[in-house]
Amino acid sequence: MALALVAARREELAAVLTPGAWRPWARRSQSDWRQRRAPDGALAYQRRDHTVSAILTGAGRAQTERAMAWLIKNERPDSILSLGFSGSCTPNLDVGDLVLATRLHHIGGSPFDWDLESLSPNSKDGRVTSAPGVHDELVADIDMMEKARIAVEMNGIDFTPAPALTVDSLVRTSGLSAWLGETYGVASVDRESYWVAAAAASAGVPCLSVRSIAYGVDETLPEIASRLPDTPSGGRFGPVFRHGTRHPRTTWRHMRDLRTARNAVATLTGVLTGNTNIDS
């Protein structure tokens, strides 16, 4: 299997896996993908031409590591493209912009446990330091980075190559997002990309993490966002619908932003895999 796509939730690859997935009232064409057996808590797919596989891991470290172990053992990909949504940590990024992660870092625990100097670019020797709860940095594959850069430039997608950060819980407040960017010099924050890259590195498989900005650095997500289930699919429509009946304007705006973010992911994926049959 040449390439494997990895995302946490179906919403992140909806336009890739199922044409019309975001337009339930429209007639859908046959998907280029078929679902396969997967480990508990994950969903696996294979494109019908057998050139690309995909797995939805669910959110968080434990689910990601379990799904990645299965993917590497069973699919044996030649390369891995980690995709998904993230929050911006810099005012230079807008919703739908892509972050091509040059380096990946992880900080464990809660914000109260984080060391201000652990990933500071201002360390005395100019190198990234290690602290309790902080794992070694992971560097993107150069060849995959160049292919992705050419793809986004040719398709007019705004992007930035920059470091990204993985944490254990959702960062939903604007103040914390900005603090992470200023303190650690990262452009985006998510919950899975480091663990995807770590599994790939352990297996010697080239990997690139690409994150589409779903909310800006100045935006605070509603509290319901932190209470949604971490499953790869299902369980989120009901809570979001009920929240939408009480806050229709903000819910519509967030849904529009997610659509913008997933379209950027789908465009990049379509170019890199040679498949332009996406719902945009």
- What pLDDT shows up at residue 275? 61
Residues 198-243: tens digit of each pLDDT: 999 999 999 999 999 999 999 998 888 888 888 999 888 888 888 8
Whether 279 shows a pLDDT value over 90: the answer reads no
What is the per-residue pLDDT for 118? Answer: 52
In this structure, is residue 279 part of a structural domain?
A: no
What is the 3 state secondary structure string of the chain?
CCEEEEECCHHHHHHHHCCCCCCCCCCCCCCCEEEECCCCCCEEEEECCCCEEEEECCCCHHHHHHHHHHHHHHCCCCEEEEEEEEEECCCCCCCCCEEEEEEEEEECCCHHHCCCCCCCCCCCCCCCCCCCCECCCEECCHHHHHHHHHHHHHCCCCEEEEEEEEECCCCCCHHHHHHHHHHHCCCEEECCHHHHHHHHHHHCCCEEEEEEEEECCCCCCCHHHHHCCCCCCCCCHHHHHHHHHHCHHHHHHHHHHHHHHHHHHHHHHHHHHCCCCCCC
Does a structural domain hold residue 278?
no
pLDDT value for 103:
95
For the chain, the domain total comes to: 1
CATH number for position 100: 3.40.50.1580
In a domain, 109, yes or no: yes
The answer to whether residue 135 sits within a structural domain is yes
Q: Looking at the DSSP assignment, which residues form a beta bridge with residue 56?
A: 7, 43
- Assess if residue 280 is contained within a domain: no
- Residue 46, pLDDT > 80, answer yes
pTM: 0.86
- pLDDT category at 80 given cuts 50, 70, 90 is very high
Owning domain of residue 110: 3-273
pLDDT of residue 129: 43
Give the residue with greater pLDDT, 260 vs 275: 260
Instruction: Note whether residue 139 is domain-resident.
Output: yes
**Using one digit for the tens of pLDDT, what is the confidence trace for 133-150?**
455 789 999 999 999 999
Out of 8-22, 121-135, 176-190, 229-243, pick the least confident.
Answer: 121-135
pLDDT class of 172 with cuts at 50, 70, 90: confident
Residue at 170 is within a domain? yes
Q: What percent of the chain has pLDDT over 70?
A: 85
What pLDDT is attached to residue 236? 87
pLDDT of 252? 86
Report whether pLDDT(61) > 60. yes
Structure confidence at residue 278 as a pLDDT band (50, 70, 90): very low
Average pLDDT over residues 62-67: 95
Residue 89 belongs to some domain of the structure: yes
Which range is most confident: 24-38, 104-118, 135-149?
Answer: 135-149
